Structure 1
Amino acid sequence: MSGRLPTGITVLDRRLGGGIPPGSIVLLEAPPASQSELFLYEFTATRGTLYLTTVRSEAAVSDALKRANTRVGNPTIRDIGSDAPLDHANRLVGALPEGANLIIDVVDVLEEAEPARYRSFLNELQTQIVNTDGLAILHAMKGRSIPKNRDLTEHMADLVFDLQTDIKGQEIVNRLAVPKFRGGAAMEETIKLKLAEQVAVDTSRDIA
């Protein structure tokens, strides 16, 4: 479908009908110990990107992008994880230009806000992304402690990318599921991925 934004993963784009529709909020849920940041870095190469970091410093994100052995862009990086992170996020989201990507890494910090305030933030984010044909990628950790507002994030998201990482003997197996695609068809099967220097499809076969 024309106008869709490619993820850079050919198999995934094909299953999504050409990519992600502009104006979408994407939730990427992943274990904290996975290489899920590689997804975020590749999105920075697709078009202008505002990268909001809530845990790592601006310098840490910038250094990671420079060291990445995958395609990356030149995003504007802002650390909003200190005082009043939700207020900082609101102000920056409201100034997003036309046709830009927004990455929030990680959204967990914002999800700890009072539910009514966080709900308001999500609705304002959706309005801004739709009006500017933008794309928002919310990176969420599937760790030992899940923030109280994660259900709100999952409900508001137009697409949910669920990365599952398992260690089987000497092999690390990464599988990507798309259980939710509002306005499209959710995938019935997972995609096996290699997350090393870049995001790539793993074509090796599983051996029971």
Structure 2
Amino acid sequence: MAGRLETGIDVLDRKLDGGLPPGFVVAYTASPASQSELLLHELTAARGTLYLTTERTDDVVRHAIESSQAKVGSPTVRYVSSDDPLTEATRLIGALPDGANLIVDTMDALERTDREEYLTFLNDLKSQMLETGSIAILHCLTGRDEPINRTQTEHVADAVFDLQTKVSGTQVENHLAIPKFRGGGQPTDVIKLELTEAVEIDTSRDIA
């Protein structure tokens, strides 16, 4: 579709009619025991990317991306400390160039802050994406101890990508659903992925 920005991940771009609209904010939910980071790493190949890491150091993230067997880019990686994550993240995002990717991995530290301050951060983030024509991918880990502001993240986000990983017999199965896509046009079927060295369609059975 004209005007959309490619994600750089072929299977996603096909399902999304060419990619994501400029200005979109995506909440990407996944289990911490999944291979969800593969998708984040491949997103860096499409365009210049600011990669904010809140849990692993910037050196560790750079090493993981550089060691990837998939097609990746050379993102600017910055570590966001836990002392004042909202202020630090806001400062870094403020320097985002036009038409870029923003990846926040993970959102947990930001989502555990004051609700009103966090909502201000989310709305400012959305304004920045619209102003620069960029795309934000917010990596949100699921589990028993989800942050108190997770609901706000998913509500403000323009789209929700939900990766479900399960072990079935001797197989590890990954299914990506897109239950929310503001403006319509999201795929109605679940995408079955193979997450090993790269993000690919799983053709072993029940092709999505």
TM-score relative to the length of structure 2: 0.95
RMSD: 1.1
Shift in Å at residue 49 of structure 1? 0.6
Superposition pairs of residues 89-128 of structure 1, within 5 angstroms: 89-128=89-128
Task: Provide the secondary structure at the position in 1 that maps to 2:92.
Answer: helix
Shift in Å at residue 144 of structure 1? 1.9
Q: Give the structure 1 partner of residue 68 of structure 2.
A: 68
Q: Deviations over 1:122-143 (max 9, x none)?
A: 0000000001000100001012
**Are the counterparts in 2 of residues 16 and 184 from structure 1 also a CA contact under 8 Å?**
no
Once residues 83 and 21 of structure 1 are traced to their aligned partners in structure 2, the CA distance between those partners, rounded to angstroms, is: 33
Q: Give the structure 2 partner of residue 59 of structure 1.
A: 59
Aligned residue-pair number: 206
Amino acid at match of 1:199: V
Q: Give the structure 1 partner of residue 37 of structure 2.
A: 37
Is 2:200 aligned against 1:204?
no
Of residues 124-133 and 81-90 in structure 1, the stretch that sits farther from structure 2 once superposed is: 81-90
Task: Provide the secondary structure at the position in 1 that maps to 2:113.
Answer: coil
Is 2:124 aligned against 1:135?
no
Task: Provide the secondary structure at the position in 1 that maps to 2:161.
Answer: strand
Q: Give the structure 2 partner of residue 152 of structure 1.
A: 152
Shift in Å at residue 31 of structure 1? 0.4
Shift in Å at residue 92 of structure 1? 1.0
Once residues 11 and 105 of structure 1 are traced to their aligned partners in structure 2, the CA distance between those partners, rounded to angstroms, is: 22
Q: Give the structure 2 partner of residue 83 of structure 1.
A: 83
Q: Give the structure 2 partner of residue 8 of structure 1.
A: 8
Amino acid at match of 1:29: T
Once residues 197 and 11 of structure 1 are traced to their aligned partners in structure 2, the CA distance between those partners, rounded to angstroms, is: 15
- % of aligned pairs identical? 55
Once residues 18 and 125 of structure 2 are traced to their aligned partners in structure 1, the CA distance between those partners, rounded to angstroms, is: 24
**Are the counterparts in 2 of residues 22 and 134 from structure 1 also a CA contact under 8 Å?**
yes
Q: Deviations over 1:16-42 (max 9, x none)?
A: 221111110011100001111011111
Runs of 4 or more above 4 Å deviation: none
Amino acid at match of 1:63: H
Shift in Å at residue 188 of structure 1? 2.0
Amino acid at match of 1:102: L
Q: Deviations over 1:104-160 (max 9, x none)?
A: 000111000100000000000000000100010000101221100001000111111
Change (3 A) 1:44 1:9: closer
Q: Give the structure 2 partner of residue 186 of structure 1.
A: 186
Shift in Å at residue 81 of structure 1? 2.8
**Are the counterparts in 1 of residues 28 and 138 from structure 2 also a CA contact under 8 Å?**
yes
**Are the counterparts in 2 of residues 9 and 201 from structure 1 also a CA contact under 8 Å?**
no
Once residues 81 and 93 of structure 2 are traced to their aligned partners in structure 1, the CA distance between those partners, rounded to angstroms, is: 15
TM-score relative to the length of structure 1: 0.95
Amino acid at match of 1:173: E
Q: Deviations over 1:29-62 (max 9, x none)?
A: 0000111101111111111111000000011101
Unpaired runs of at least 5, structure 2 = none
